[in-house]
A and B are shown apart, each in its own frame.
Chain A
């Protein structure tokens, strides 16, 4: 199985999966069901996270599909670089809007837990953003299909090369050295925020900080989410600027897998009943296992990130 297979498999999540989630979200509003609402918010966040490896494996697939020097036609005359880059540009836009939707969905989960309800303004934002995402994803998917299916192309004949969003971002980051350095610095600040607060939560669950009330930790949680968001943005900026550093780098794929597992673990905490424990009380064993695995997973994310230049060729 190659990264191309993975791309063709994963691309159903941001397309089909996202549409189904919008249906679930609408059903939750009609049925006034908190459980359905929470399920749809979790799905919005989860699908946006899966959209990251979908995007990343797309660049890996492109490198296999079009073997050519920059500016030259692809070795296989059936595909062309402008078609691939048009798909890439539409994909990066849809990914950005989808991740923004996921950010508000995460906030909704946090509000549901802390205030027992998601305010109407946030429900409206999630609704509008998810519809916008759906349109942008459909556009990206359509351009993706046209790479290999000339029969569905709207306009026949060769597509002229145009500067796309993804390549324009890459050009800017590569021309302006400070953007890379500033993003690296922000990436370190973001990881400190995330790890510092996750550490506090996990040490509470593991009993080192047993007298800490869980309600206090919930108040800090958005700062960990901000750190995570900063790192998604800066991390994707590195990838979009220099995909060739990462698509052949095994440490990068391990890092992605660990990010997904660690995020799933962190999302689980929204539903853990152990958090009802009052200050000074031990939590149940299962919660401790989840907390310990969260620490292992986030440290693993950092490990693979540190190894990017040493196992692969990136920095």
Chain B
């Protein structure tokens, strides 16, 4: 816990916590929402495509979306850590936050697995989909839904900063 206290006392954390500027915490929260919509929404679109809502002969055309999702993830890793630092001692002991992080981790792993198994195959528009492609898509949808639910609940369950 000493580490969490130390983290929370860093000048950056104090700025995030105490600044009344719209460019401090409010901007980070907005960017975190934006990143979420890109990663979760973009993943959902890929999952829908794998589940049959996409012409079977042009899956490969979706491949360039992956770098965009990675940018969204990078934004959220940065803004998420920053928001965590603001109230590290409280967030650090919130079980719900760790549940959310597990969902996010699983969602990102699934995203990489889907890219490797499906989209990295240059012949994918002509050969059959891997047999577990549908399972991967459903699991990915479940993970991002879980991440959003658990993420929203951080403001309400466990120790909540400011309450």
Which of A's residues lie within 8 Å of B, judged by CB? 181, 184-185, 188-189, 191-197, 199-200, 203, 208-209, 211-213, 215-216, 219-220, 223, 279, 299, 302-303, 305-307, 310-311
Quick check: B44 and A212 within 8 Å, CB to CB?
A: no
Nearest-CB distance from A310 to chain B (Å)?
4
Closest to B44 in A: A196
Number of B interface residues, CB 8 Å?
Answer: 35
Chain B residues closer than 8 Å to A196, beta-carbon distance: 37-38, 40-45
Note all chain A residues with C-beta closer than 8 A to B112: none
B40 touches A192 (CB 8 A): yes
What's the minimum C-beta distance from A280 to chain B, rounded to whole angstroms? 9
A279 vs B29: C-alpha distance when bound (angstroms): 37
Question: How far in angstroms is the closest Cβ of chain B from A72?
Answer: 32
Chain A residues closer than 8 Å to B149, beta-carbon distance: 185
Contacting B58 at CB < 8 Å: which of A194, A200, A216? A216
- Assess A299 versus B34: contact at CB under 8 Å? Given A194-B41, A196-B40, A216-B58: yes
B132 within 8 Å of A by Cβ?
no
Contact residues, B35-68 vs A (CB, 8 A)? 36-38, 40-45, 48-49, 53-55, 58, 60-62, 64-65, 68
What are 21 A-B contacts defined by CB distance under 8 Å? A181-B156, A184-B152, A185-B153, A188-B151, A189-B145, A192-B44, A193-B41, A196-B40, A196-B44, A199-B68, A203-B64, A203-B65, A211-B58, A212-B58, A213-B61, A216-B61, A219-B53, A220-B49, A305-B33, A307-B30, A310-B22
With A213-B58, A216-B54 known as contacts, the answer to whether A193 contacts B44 (CB < 8 A) is yes
B148 at interface by CB-CB < 8 Å: yes
With A189-B145, A192-B37, A195-B38: A200-B152 Cβ-Cβ less than 8 Å: no
**Minimal Cβ-Cβ distance residue in A for B20:** A310
Please tell me if the beta carbons of B153 and A181 are within 8 angstroms of each other in the complex. yes
The distance in angstroms between the C-alpha atoms of A279 and B43, with both chains bound, is 22
User: Does B161 interact with chain A (Cβ within 8 Å)?
Assistant: no
B145 to chain A: closest residue by CB: A189
Other 5 A-B pairs with CB < 8 A, given A213-B55, A220-B45, A310-B22 = A185-B152, A191-B33, A192-B40, A196-B43, A200-B42
Q: Which residue of A lies closest to B54 (CB)?
A: A216
User: Roughly how many angstroms separate A219 CA and B41 CA in the complex, as a whole number?
Assistant: 16
**With A185-B149, A216-B55 in contact, is A303–B30 under 8 Å at CB?**
yes
